Structure 1
Amino acid sequence: MRFNQTFTVTEFLFSGFPQIEDGSLLFFIPLFIIYIFIVTGNLIVFFAVRIDIRLHNPMYNFISIFSLLEIWYTTATIPKMLSNLISKKRTISIIGCLLQMYFFHSLGNSEGILLTAMAIDRYVAICNPLRYPTIMTPQLCAQLSAGSCIFGFLVLLPEIAWISTLPFCGPNQIHQLFCDFEPVLRLACTDTSMILVEDVIHAIAIIFSVLIIAVSYIRIITVILKIPSVEGRQKAFSTCASHLGVFLMFYGSVSLMYLRFSATFPPILDTIIALMFAVLAPFFNPIIYSLRNKDMKIAIKKLLCLQKMFDASAS
């Protein structure tokens, strides 16, 4: 393996704008604003949960951990996208490419596992409310949160280690916004049939998580519909609406990207799908959690008021 070898990153969406003066700034500014919003919005959600004692329960703890993961998830790719927009030489070293793949997908895996834990939490809360305090203890909640991150980062190590041993040749052009498994494997000077194996592994992991979450919510909705009062049904649905929205957005875009196997999409569609799960889904997550949740909105207002009081006292 030659560590000084580089991949030329070809971004079809921006290929017509290689220089700032040719229009790349038009893409740089909105992407930069979106990234700042993602980081700021998720930090607000995280600290609002940590500061408001009323939100110290498993559901909001999972939300705060998810928000923290979202910050690092987008940081693994968006800063490099931004630098490519204003750089004449859009390259990334092999080491940098492998690290980007590892952290991006490890954080994505951790989020997927955490979403599954959140679905189980809502299932227990609604389907077994009397046993919820004894089942979802703070210890179990902490174990699920830590386990999601640990497993998410460990499961990809063999895959990344295997890719690092492959010889790379040819034009080394990655026709994607960031380093991803399939584009990188296609550059290997070896049998690319392993791409299908990679697709199957990813598909099994995605489908398994989706099935667990889907079964949980089918059961949840069945129980909610049996609640006699309209107010009770609305309250039960409101506790699940945010998580269900994030789940649909996250796994919907991920499925489009990784459950197509040998199917090929036009380059512009590939770029749009990549933007959906790498940029747009994280962008909407803090909005969904803050606007769809009354308790969260109250906690955020308290956090902002505390910040204003701190700024006033400091001045």
Structure 2
Amino acid sequence: MANFSCVTEFLLLGFSSLGELQFVLFVVFLCFYLIILSRNITIISVICLDHSLHTPMYFFICVLSTSETFTIVILPKMLINLFSILRTLSFMSCDSEMFFFFVFAVTNSLHLGVMGYDRYGCQSLHYPILMSWRVCEHLAVTCIVSGFLISLLGTTLVFSLPFCGSNKVKHYFCDISPVIYLAYTEAYINEPVIFICGVLGLVPLIFICISYEFIVSTILKISSAEGKQKAFSPCASHLIVVIVHYGCASFVYPRPSAKYTSGKDRLVTVTYSIITPLLNPMVYSLRNKDIQLAIQKMIGKTGFSVKTL
């Protein structure tokens, strides 16, 4: 290690190999970024301002929309880098970017698990007791604190490694796998713990599966086909998001850095860090009749009239 100088900054290669296509990517990702922010801000504002939406289900949707603003951690810098010649990021900035990204991302994953429990509660006659406001607040705080602690543990382990070789990160932000790949060590002590951190992010999937096992068993007891469809329809959107989110996350994180492949990881990361937050507001909220009516009421107060979304 004496023959190498310690890394003080990282060079984000991102999509630099695509040449002139970077301008096209800039336009596409900028549109995605504006859509993600506008949709989530709309949902948060509508739920907060309309008292008829002050129920546990919409409370969780509001928290989910808040956690999905993690795109503000990575997308602005990525957009700048698509036009920059110098794509450097200081050591501390890389640490901070990774930490805040995973605070939002892990909180989002945990929150999806809580929403699975909420969907199970919807099938129960004891729903007002299972999902009281006190329970909702405790669950939301637990998700946030757990996301903070898991992210703190993961980033501390990553940046305690020696970085004394290459500083070229083959990614568009400081993600765990491409950064560990640059560490001047085999990381045989740290990697198992980081692997456990990745697995912890998948723990909510277990609770989701258990919740849906109870949900399905409850729905099967309904005699009419129409009743079964009506009972399961609120769960369909949640299942779609869960499959996409955890499918991509399980491909990237719970594995050793030796199996890191930059090209595939960039593609999969774009899916869950940009495409999923882009689709979630539409899947969860904007197709919801109550939220549509609430948006119409808000726009109506401004003097404009709109058709049903």
TM score, norm. by length of structure 1: 0.88
Structure 1 residue 166, shift from structure 2 partner: 3.1
Asked whether 1:95 is paired with 2:97, we answer no
Q: Flag structure 2 segments of 5+ consecutive residues without an equivalent.
A: none
Match of 1:122 in 2: 119
Match of residue 77, structure 1, among 59, 74, 79 = 74
Match of 2:162 in 1: 167
Structure 1 residue 44, shift from structure 2 partner: 1.2
Match of 1:313 in 2: none
Equivalent residue of 1:8, what SS?
strand
Match of residue 185, structure 2, among 190, 193, 206 = 190
Match of 1:58 in 2: 56
Match of residue 37, structure 1, among 35, 38, 41 = 35
Letter in structure 2 aligned against 1:298: L
Q: Encode CA deviations 1:19-51: one digit per residue, 9 max, x unaligned.
A: xxx342111011000000000011111122222
| Distance 1:124-1:285 versus aligned 2 partners, 3 A rule | same
Asked if structure 2 preserves the Cα contact closer than 8 Å seen for 1:196 and 1:261, the reply is: yes
Match of 1:110 in 2: 107
**How much is the aligned-residue C-alpha RMSD, in angstroms?**
2.3
Asked if structure 1 preserves the Cα contact closer than 8 Å seen for 2:119 and 2:235, the reply is: yes
Structure 1: 4+ residue segments shifted above 6 A: none
Distance 1:217 1:261 in 2: 31
Asked if structure 1 preserves the Cα contact closer than 8 Å seen for 2:9 and 2:91, the reply is: yes
| Distance 1:207-1:158 versus aligned 2 partners, 3 A rule | closer
Give matches, 1:263-302, under 5 Å.
264=259, 266-302=261-297
Larger deviation: 201-210 or 190-199? 190-199
TM score, norm. by length of structure 2: 0.89
Give matches, 1:233-244, under 5 Å.
233-244=228-239
Asked if structure 2 preserves the Cα contact closer than 8 Å seen for 1:242 and 1:293, the reply is: no
Letter in structure 2 aligned against 1:59: M
Equivalent residue of 2:114, what SS?
helix
Match of 1:151 in 2: 146
Asked whether 1:9 is paired with 2:7, we answer no
Letter in structure 2 aligned against 1:120: Y
Asked if structure 2 preserves the Cα contact closer than 8 Å seen for 1:177 and 1:274, the reply is: no
Larger deviation: 113-122 or 191-200? 191-200
Asked whether 1:228 is paired with 2:223, we answer yes
Q: Flag structure 1 segments of 5+ consecutive residues without an equivalent.
A: 311-315
| Distance 1:158-1:207 versus aligned 2 partners, 3 A rule | closer
| Distance 1:187-1:220 versus aligned 2 partners, 3 A rule | same
Equivalent residue of 1:156, what SS?
helix
Match of 1:135 in 2: 130
Distance 1:211 1:233 in 2: 24
Larger deviation: 195-204 or 56-65? 195-204
Q: Encode CA deviations 1:123-170: one digit per residue, 9 max, x unaligned.
A: 1221x2x21112211111111112211221123223323433333121
Distance 2:233 2:293 in 1: 15
Q: Encode CA deviations 1:195-234: one digit per residue, 9 max, x unaligned.
A: 6314531343134221110111122122112212333222
Letter in structure 1 aligned against 2:57: M
